[in-house]
């Protein structure tokens, strides 16, 4: 594993808790935290030297016509580890 690959691997490890926090905060902030069928899923879909591109999907899936899903995209700064719009 070369130096660049090692840095990328370390950054991926740092990204995981950031995504988990984004998911948890989304459920809380949208009021869905205690709703049956509520979900939030954040996944990295691209990256460069400055940031990770993240897609957040959240909503309620209960197997009926009442299902609601929202998708948003964010950036995670690779220096500050802050989520940005």
pLDDT in tens, 11-35: 989 999 999 999 999 999 999 999 9
Question: Can you list the residues of the chain whose pLDDT is less than 50?
Answer: 3
pLDDT, position 1: 54
pLDDT, position 75: 98
DSSP character at residue 67: -
pLDDT, position 9: 78
Q: Of 46, 24, 41, whose CA–CA distance to 33 is shortest?
A: 24
Residue partners of 57: CB distance under 8 A and separation at least 6: 39, 40, 41, 42, 69, 70, 71
Q: What is the largest CA-CA distance in the chain?
A: 50
């Amino acid at each position: 594993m070369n130096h660049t690959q090692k840095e990328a691997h370390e950054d991926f490890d740092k990204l995981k808790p950031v995504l988990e926090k984004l998911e948890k905060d989304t459920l809380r902030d949208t009021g869905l935290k205690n709703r049956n069928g509520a979900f939030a899923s954040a996944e990295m879909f691209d990256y460069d030297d400055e940031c990770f591109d993240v897609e957040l999907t959240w909503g309620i899936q209960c197997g009926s016509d009442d299902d609601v899903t929202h998708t948003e995209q964010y950036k995670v700064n690779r220096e500050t580890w802050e989520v940005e719009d």
